[in-house]
Amino acid sequence: MIDLAMHMMDIAQNSIRANAKTIAIVLNEDNKDHTLTFSVQDDGCGMNEEQVKKLADPFFTTRTTRRVGLGVPFLKMTAEQTGGSLKIISANGEGTAIEAVYRTDNPDCLPLGDLAGYLTLLLKANPGIRFRFVYRLNDETFELDSEELKQQEIDLRQAQMVAAVKEYMNENLTELFNKRSPHSFLC
**pTM (two decimals):** 0.90
In the predicted model, is pLDDT for residue 61 greater than 60? no
pLDDT-derived band of residue 95, with 50, 70 and 90 as boundaries?
A: very high
Asked whether residue 86 is domain-assigned, the answer is yes
Residue 186 lies in a domain: no
Instruction: Domain count for the chain, please give it.
Output: 1
- CATH number reported for the structural domain that contains residue 23 in this entry: 3.30.565.10
Q: Is residue 35 part of a domain?
A: yes
Whether 26 and 136 have beta carbons less than 8 Å apart is answered as yes
Phi, psi of 115 (to 5 degrees): -55, -45
Residue 185, domain member (yes or no): no
Going by pLDDT thresholds of 50, 70 and 90, the confidence category of residue 67 is: very low
Q: CA nearest 174: which of 129, 115, 130?
A: 115
Q: Mean pLDDT across the stretch 72-91? A: 93
3-state secondary structure of 118: helix
Domain containing residue 81 = 4-177
For residue 184, tell me if it sits in a domain.
no
pLDDT, tens digit, for every residue of 111-149?
A: 999 999 999 999 999 999 999 999 999 999 999 999 999
Q: What is the pLDDT of residue 68?
A: 45
182 lies in a domain? no
pLDDT at site 70: 67
**Do the domain assignments include residue 143?**
yes
Q: How far apart are CA 20 and CA 39, in angstroms?
A: 15
3-state secondary structure of 180: coil
CA–CA distance from 182 to each of 78, 170, 179 (Å)? Answer: 22, 20, 9
129 part of a folded domain: yes
